[in-house]
Structure 1
């Protein structure tokens, strides 16, 4: 056999071997992907429970209406629920959604709220609680909850709230919070200093000319260190970039707030909140509130300028982001499983409520979530859906009417 023939045969044999190797490797990878997906699907399905929608008058609903009592569930969790809560409602951080959760909790238990005296939902944008900006209870009654906009001042808060009050806050990535504020307060609320900005590039013009647009007093601005304003940081800190001067106050806040939620990790924050307060999982179900759709034009330079513009907010956010993850690491192994389960449950309930809002024929149905390791059996009906989708102005008004019946005006809000 000639040398050319041998080389040809060897080449064919080599190509055949390579082809077999490729086919074998492909088959192995295919099996691996299929098995991995099956395992992942199994892990996901392990936290999906039997959720059903029943007509109110069916025997199935009547039979499953009560399975495990709330007190039994709290015993299972290991603590009684806290009912004295101060939530610092920070601007444009998903705080309206949290406010609805807390208002719904207090409404169900007939708790007393600190409520604004002259606005449906706003105690103050530029000061803390005073004798004049809230409605006062009878002398023999006490307040339980605070969750409307007001600047934080621990001394003022403690004058009106019980000693065992749990303080909760929330923060958001500073640039995202800033952009949201610009568009929300310029285009929805027409705040004067923001309406002067060009409509086509408000972020760019504000950050390049802050002295031309920003109010002189920090508490009058919605767009410069607003989270730090809401948290009541001392005014002298707004004019420094010395972290050594800023850090002591952040540590002080850490001792006063049991939890500062992170908007970017909202569901994780709510599970921490539930565990901290000993609440039930149905207490923290939510439908997103007060969202404002916009398309922002931003650049890398805008982000860079904003770090100088709102330096204090970055310090605040980064500090409590570290604290947050430390708290998450201290949770048990079931924490992330509960977060995953909660996301699925919440999404299913939101879909049910939104569909009920569109279709009046569904008003005679209920959503049932059967008992799991995370909650007792509970239902969501038309009334609960109504509360879930009640905005903060409407909810605050309803709370005022119940706490102070004499303020109610027939057929109108206060």
Structure 2
């Protein structure tokens, strides 16, 4: 009898131990450092990415192009031949898009003048809305450097360097800036606000705030250029993709002079933020929401994921890129161009293809499919 009781007790202990182990496994699978792990099981394949200007958006676009091509997804591309952007002087609408060879679209990631209704009309109901913003001070310096020949306000500025030109502009912006239909001119004032589909001349604080609240409801995730790796980790999480899916090499990165990140003193930075008030409020809002998303994701977990991403990036760089970097110039601005190793493969080429080359290739692939369907 006593032996039977001992056996029963041992069985009970074994069952309790099993249950505790099982519960612990469940908890461990869903929580790390008190933070819920990803709950998604199926990758999201319908994505709209608002490609804003001079924000690192080309790098994000490249990983979207690679993912879409690898998974046989259909891209929404501009109707006009060879174009890498939609007509920027028109609010986006489906009439601007080339026909789809599959009857639907999965990814929209070209430059466009945002119109939520137009995007919703074109894309599937479960489409993830993604965008990217950058601190207005860094953004304005980049815009003035990159678009010095396109923006008339910048063409007329006195000075031989970007810092001098920026100060001259900010001392009397209305002397140089004139609102007109040419879309490049919008980058001289609240360029991000224009990218998001709103009047870049708006000064009313209440109107600006209402528009930002509207965008907050429309977009699932707004990336921050200033925290690029962390942004890509959150993008991976939002889309339920893998680290390999979001591995990247930075595109169109400038060769910066020493100290060029601090061209303006505090007085001129204040002037710049006042001149670009709508952009500043937009950035502040989404920077705050981004911080909350990182906290919800888990700071320790974020550090681990960023380390994994950097490691994956380095593996691609070691596999594909020669030690010697090339340089090409846009409006006299030196930009880094990666040189592929002699034994590099097709995947390596996709990482370094220019935006226009990659889009043209995808366009030709989709046109060929469309042509075959009509036979």
For the superposition of Structure 1 and Structure 2, which TM-score range results when normalised by the shorter chain?
Answer: 0.7 to 0.9
Larger gyration radius, structure 1 or structure 2: 1
Shift of the 205–345 alpha-carbon distance from structure 1 to 2, 3 Å rule, reads same
Note if contact 1:215-1:221 (Cα within 8 Å) is conserved in structure 2. Answer: no
State the partner residue of 1:198. Answer: 158
Matches within 5 A, 1:334-353: 334-353=301-320
2:255 to 284, 289, 293: 293
How many residue pairs were aligned?
Answer: 309
Shift of the 168–217 alpha-carbon distance from structure 1 to 2, 3 Å rule, reads same
Choose 384-393 or 245-254, whichever is displaced more.
245-254
SS in 1 for 2:129: strand
Q: Report the TM-score when normalising by structure 1.
A: 0.69
State the partner residue of 1:213. Answer: 176
Choose 252-261 or 118-127, whichever is displaced more.
118-127
Note if contact 2:94-2:119 (Cα within 8 Å) is conserved in structure 1. Answer: no
Note if contact 2:94-2:122 (Cα within 8 Å) is conserved in structure 1. Answer: no
Shift of 1:195: 2.0
Q: Which has the higher contact order (CA 8 A, sep 6+)?
A: 1
* Deviation per residue, 1:86-136 (Å, 9 max, x gap): 000010000000010111111111111111122431113333223553312
Q: Which runs of 5+ in 2 are unaligned?
A: 1-36, 324-338
Note if contact 2:48-2:130 (Cα within 8 Å) is conserved in structure 1. Answer: yes
Shift of 1:264: 0.7
SS in 2 for 1:265: helix
- The CA distance in 1 between the partners of 2:38 and 2:203, in whole Å, is 49
Q: Report the TM-score when normalising by structure 2.
A: 0.76
Shift of the 197–331 alpha-carbon distance from structure 1 to 2, 3 Å rule, reads same
Note if contact 2:340-2:348 (Cα within 8 Å) is conserved in structure 1. Answer: no
Shift of the 298–339 alpha-carbon distance from structure 1 to 2, 3 Å rule, reads same
State the partner residue of 1:222. Answer: 187
State the partner residue of 2:92. Answer: 129
Determine whether 1:108 maps to 2:108: no
Note if contact 2:249-2:317 (Cα within 8 Å) is conserved in structure 1. Answer: yes
Note if contact 1:286-1:350 (Cα within 8 Å) is conserved in structure 2. Answer: no
1:317 to 258, 261, 283: 283
State the partner residue of 1:15. Answer: none
Q: Root-mean-square deviation (CA), in Å?
A: 2.4
